[in-house]
Amino acid sequence: MRSSATASPEPMQNTLPDLRRAHGLSQDGLARAAGVSRQTIISIEKGRYAPNLALAFTLAQIFGTTIESMFTPDPPDAAPHHP
């Protein structure tokens, strides 16, 4: 499997779980279709990792949508603040 996720530089919201369920895919099924591990899909869905550009395009193609409709940055004031 290819390396597909990197540490998320800023919080991101995504519609991946909703799209996946609407298309009747399990996390494992989506992972297989995208050529990544199930753990990668879980991490993206939970916002722990942002997909690289190639994976983002692959996911968008699978769902017939755009990257912009799947991933949006959290507003700056919604980001967790660490002292």
5-68 sits in which CATH class? mainly alpha
* Domain locations in the chain as residue ranges: 5-68
Cα–Cα distances (Å) from 6 to 22, 24, 39, 51, 78, in that order, read 26, 27, 13, 6, 21
pLDDT of residue 8: 46
**Model confidence, pTM:** 0.77
Other beta carbons within 10 angstroms of residue 13's beta carbon come to: 13
pLDDT of residue 75: 67
Other beta carbons within 10 angstroms of residue 33's beta carbon come to: 17
pLDDT string in tens for the chain (83-residue length): 544 454 545 668 999 999 999 999 999 999 999 999 999 999 999 989 889 999 999 999 999 999 999 998 876 665 554 55
